[in-house]
Amino acid sequence: MIGSFPRSRRSAALVALVWAGCGELPPPAAVTPAASVRTAPDDSDAWNLVPRTASSLADLDLRALRASPWSRALVTGGFVEDREERQRVFGYDVFNDADRVVVAGFEAADAATQAVVVAGRFDAARVGRAFLAATPGGVETSWRECPLWEGGGRAVAVLPSGRTLVQGTPETARAAVDAAWGVVPDARGGPLGALARDIDAEARRPAVTVALLVTDDVRARAGIADVPPDLRRVAARLDLGADLELSAEAVFDDGSRAGPAARLWSDELRELARNRMLRLMGLGPLVDGATLLAEGARVHGHLRIPEDKREALSERVLLLLQAVARQRGPGARQP
C-alpha cells in the first residue's frame, strides 16, 4: 500500500513526481497502426522525429528560455566557459545555435537509451567534422538521404533542411529519421502525445514540457524517490511569465490510489520545506506554496513563484546547476 512507504526516503527528486492533475483519464486518441510514409522527411516540428516507442520526453523551448528573465542568465551566459568545448565536440553550441531541444528516452531489456532532437541553425559539415574528431573510429554514412556519422556507440544525423539534427545511439538516430519520414509513427499519436494534450502543451506550448510513462524500468532507476506502485503516467509544464508557474498531473490506475498519494506527497513537501539546508541555500521558494489535489484517478499539482522572488532564486539555481555540471566533468557527452 502506498501509505506504507517509509517517509525517511524523501528527496528533492520527489518534487518532479508530486505535482499532478484531476479527472478521469480519457482513452488515448485513436491512431492508425501504420505510419504514413512521406515523400521527404518532415522536421517542421521536433516531435516528428520522436518515435512512438519513446517512454519519456522533455521538450525545451530555448527561445522562450533565452527570452525569460527567469532563465536568461542560465541559457545565455551560465555555461559560457564550456562553449568552446561544446563547439569542438558537437560542432555547434546548444545555447546559441538551438531554438528547441527534445530529449526522448527509450526503455529496453538491457539498457535505457536516448535520442536528442535539436532544432536550430547548423552546418552539417561542421557537425560531422566535430563528431569524427571527437570519436575515434567514427565513420560517415547516410540514412534515408540524411548524412549520418557514427562510432563508439554514438551517432548524429542532420536532416536535409539543415535546421534539425538528432544525436543518440546509431539505432535511436536512425529511428528518429524514420519517424521524420513517416516510416514509423511519431510520439504525437501515442501516449506521450496524449499526456501533452492533457496539460494543453500542444495548443499553448510552455517553456518546458515533460511527459513520462512510469514503467518497471523507471521504478527500478528511481532510487531514493518513492514511486507508488499504481502510478502510470506523469506530465508537467513550466510557464515563464512575470511569475513562474509549474503545473503537472500524475495518473493512477484508479481513485483509490490517487488520494493516498496526494496525502503522502503533501507530507513530504512540508517536510522538505522545513529542510534547513534548503533554506540556507535560498531554495525554499521551489517548494513553498505548492498545492496538491486528488480528483478521480489523478493528482493535480501547481506551484507558483512570484516575480519578486525571481532574481535571488535564479542566481541560486544557476550556481547549483554549475556545480552539478562541474561534477559531471567535460567527459559527459550531452549537448
167-193 pLDDT, tens per residue?
A: 999 999 999 999 999 999 999 999 999
The Cα 47–Cα 179 span in angstroms is 9
Per-residue pLDDT of 107-159, as tens digits, reads 876 778 999 999 999 999 999 999 999 999 999 999 999 999 999 999 999 99
The upper half-sphere exposure of residue 325, i.e. CA atoms within 13 Å in the direction of its Cβ, equals: 15
Q: Considering the entire predicted model, what is its pTM?
A: 0.82
If pLDDT is split at 50, 70 and 90, which confidence band does 16 have? Answer: very low
In a domain, 241, yes or no: yes
In a domain, 28, yes or no: no
How many structural domains comprise the chain?
1
- Read off the C-alpha cell for 102: 527534445
Domain that holds residue 72: 2-22+40-328
Helices in the chain by DSSP H: which ranges? Answer: 15-18, 62-67, 72-73, 83-90, 94-97, 124-134, 170-181, 191-198, 216-221, 255-273, 276-280, 310-328
- List the Cα angle 255/258/263 in 5-degree steps: 135
Domain assignment of residue 335, yes or no: no
**With bands split at pLDDT 50, 70 and 90, how would you rate the model's confidence at 326?**
low
Q: How far apart, in whole angstroms, are the C-alpha atoms of residue 216 and residue 223?
A: 12
pLDDT of residue 316: 78
83 inside domain: yes
Whether the CA torsion 278, 280, 284, 285 is positive or negative: it is negative
Q: Is residue 27 part of a domain?
A: no
CB atoms within 10 A of CB 260: 19
The arithmetic mean of pLDDT across residues 71-90, rounded, is 76
Question: Does any domain span residue 296?
Answer: yes
Percentage of the chain beyond pLDDT 90 is 55
Domain annotation covers residue 193 = yes
Query: Is residue 34 assigned to a domain?
Result: no
